[in-house]
Amino acid sequence: MPVRARRVVRLALVGFGHVGRRFAELLGGPYGRILRRAGLEVRVTAIATGRHGLAVDPRGLPLKRALRLVEQGRPLTTIHRGLPVASTAALVAAAPYDVLVELSPLEPLTGEPATAHVAAALRRGRHAVTANKGPVAHARRHLDALARRNGVRFLHEGAVMDGFPIFNLAERCLRGVTVRGFRGVLNSTTTRILSRMEAGVPFEVALGEAQAAGVAESDPAFDLDGWDAAVKACALANALMGADLRPADVERVTVRGLTAEAVEAAAREGKRWRLVARAERTGRKVTARVAPEELPLGDLLVSGGADGVLVLDTDLMGEVGLWEGAGGVDQTAYAVLSDLLEVAGPLRRQARP
């Protein structure tokens, strides 16, 4: 029986942290098998990091070695082949790859440098896939137009609710449907803190517990003051409702004003306080807001064990909800795989130097 040749797809990973490394590990196992079954032979030809250097090898980098080097805190430069590469921007501009996988940290106020990396790849006629909310919240419309002009795709399934298929759902399963608005509980840190306060635990203690468990940052403002939820709301409004919002356009109300007494009293009445993100369209204008809301227990947004809940308000399908159980690195790595399968299927640009 003739053996079908697999198409080689070269990836540049910008960011080799929790998600990038998990994706690379799984490429050596189930992801590799899934991609091969889809007729694709994936090679990682470039990796950029912040403090662990850069590596490029047009034939494909040794991933197990790259993982070991970074886990040992050593630079990737020992596996680099060819002329030195000065910066991540230079790697994105010149390294040999077909798909840029952007997994650098979120910079919530500007979305940079991730947005610039994605734009540079798209201008080169390379597909771009990201789990970084920054480019979606700050420049989705621009990047989408850039991708279309260059005959490539910009996909970002991992940017909100990890790998739970929100963007794919809207694009593929809700064809012709208009998303009129949404409401969601998108920040798991505040849900965790508020749930503890319902049981009578003071705010500062609940926050300390979340920090000790590694789910809240040492500077918790990003979660508590609604920035995380605002960046997510912005990304959702831009991608699902065609808005062109920036995180600073989202009205934000902090959860810090909630007292333990108010949260406990609501719990006694069968209600729950949650940090809710909402967006709605009025005429041509889309507005988004993040604020604590007191919700009845039966509300879809009050769901025990959920890392996130999102309810879309649509014209033809009424309410469509997504419930995310435990989300994290594995789900986000899966989102990268799913986007990769999507862009690599109709890969138009074949092996270039």
Ligand X SMILES: NC(=O)c1ccc[n+]([C@@H]2O[C@H](COP(=O)([O-])OP(=O)(O)OC[C@H]3O[C@@H](n4cnc5c(N)ncnc54)[C@H](OP(=O)(O)O)[C@@H]3O)[C@@H](O)[C@H]2O)c1
Binding site for ligand X (CB under 6 A): 14-20, 48-52, 88, 103-106, 113, 131-132, 158, 162, 328-329, 332
What are the Cα distances from residue 35, in Å, to 194, 311, 347? 41, 32, 14
CB 161 to ligand X: min, Å: 8
Residue 232: active-site member: yes
Contact (Cβ atoms closer than 8 angstroms) between residue 280 and residue 286: yes
Measured from the CB atom, is 98 or 324 closer to ligand X?
324
As a whole number of Å, the end-to-end CA separation of the chain is: 32
Measured from the CB atom, is 88 or 189 closer to ligand X?
88
CB 201 to ligand X: min, Å: 25
CB 186 to ligand X: min, Å: 11
Rounded Cα gap, residues 317 and 9, in angstroms: 37
Contact (Cβ atoms closer than 8 angstroms) between residue 198 and residue 260: no
- Set 64, 232, 271, 285: catalytic member: 232
Measured from the CB atom, is 102 or 313 closer to ligand X?
102
Torsion sign (Cα): 347, 350, 351, 353 = negative
> H helices within the chain, ranges in order?
18-27, 30-37, 63-71, 88-94, 114-123, 133-149, 166-168, 188-198, 203-212, 221-224, 227-240, 260-268, 329-344
Q: Name the 3-class secondary structure at 220.
A: coil
CB 301 to ligand X: min, Å: 20
Q: Which two tokens stand for residue 89?
A: 């921007």
Give residue 2's Cα distance to chain centre: 40
Rounded Cα gap, residues 315 and 160, in angstroms: 22
Measured from the CB atom, is 10 or 21 closer to ligand X?
21
Which residue's beta carbon is nearest to the bound ligand X? 17
CB 246 to ligand X: min, Å: 17
Helices 30-37, 329-344: axis angle to 10 degrees equals 20
CB 129 to ligand X: min, Å: 11
Measured from the CB atom, is 88 or 187 closer to ligand X?
88
Kindly list the catalytic residues: 232
